[in-house]
Amino acid sequence: MKIFLLGGSRGLGKQILLQLLRNNYEVNCLVRNPNKLKINHKNLNLYKGDSTEIEDLRLAIKNSDYIISSLNVMRRNIIPWSSLSNSKTTISDSIKNIIELTEQKKIKHLVSVSAWGAGDSIKEIPMWFKYLIKFSNIKYPYKDHDRQEEIIKNSNLNWTILRPAALINFFDHPVKESFSNKHKVNLIISRKSLSKYIVNILGNKDYFNKTITVSKK
């Protein structure tokens, strides 16, 4: 089983990569700078490139059975008003390319990480967070998450969209799921717990074509 991973060089994506390798999956990973990813493993195939360039994707995605994307529109630091370090449409442009390359192939499952507050979940988040999204540069990844969700939902792939609560690094914990915004969720989720969750649901038909908010239980 071969998995294509986008966003594997940092943060959540790096945690997902580690979980996949621990579970002995073969992983193709497209990164802009392979030298920054200090992981050597017999099951890891690194490709240098940009996911918004379809030819870079074409080579890296070849013969993959599953796709995981944890791409984001990035800021230069954690300050919400910090300037962006990549395109405002990085996520949606990459997802468009993925779908163009894979809709006619036998990709078994696409799992894409969005964010709690994207799409119709905007009504669930606290008022202070709505304000922060509206009046800071956090709005750019949220707008692009909205775009990618619509693109994915209009595809013919078996997809799962995950909307995690605020990501933290500190501890491992059980994960709470909310399908179709039916249950109240916590404000946080750890990257390690989310990465385990993603690997566990990969290929599970019960999660196909569903949008799920996830948080600490």
Question: How many domains, the chain?
Answer: 1
pLDDT digits (tens, 9 = 90+) for 62-94: 999 999 999 999 889 989 999 998 999 999 999
pLDDT given for residue 35 in this prediction:
86
More confident residue, 171 or 4: 4
pLDDT given for residue 101 in this prediction:
94
Q: Which of helix, strand or coil describes residue 31?
A: strand
pLDDT digits (tens, 9 = 90+) for 120-137: 999 999 999 999 999 999
Please list the alpha-helical segments (H only) found in the chain. Answer: 11-22, 54-61, 90-102, 127-135, 139-153, 191-201
pLDDT digits (tens, 9 = 90+) for 31-53: 998 888 889 999 999 999 999 99
pLDDT given for residue 103 in this prediction:
84
Tell me the pLDDT of the chain averaged across its residues.
Answer: 94
Q: What is the 3-state secondary structure (H, E, C) of 130-185?
A: HHHHHHCCCHHHHHHHHHHHHHHHCCCCCEEEEEECEEECCCCCCEEEEECCCCCC
What CATH number should be reported for the domain holding residue 187?
A: 3.40.50.720
CA 204/CA 200 separation, integer angstroms: 8
Q: Are 178 and 185 in contact (CB under 8 A)?
A: yes
Cβ contacts of 129 within 8 Å, gap of 6 or more? 117
pLDDT given for residue 1 in this prediction:
87
pLDDT given for residue 79 in this prediction:
92
Stretch 17-44: mean pLDDT = 94
Entry pTM: 0.95
More confident residue, 170 or 46: 46
Q: Which two tokens stand for residue 109?
A: 């499952």
Range of the domain at 51: 2-216
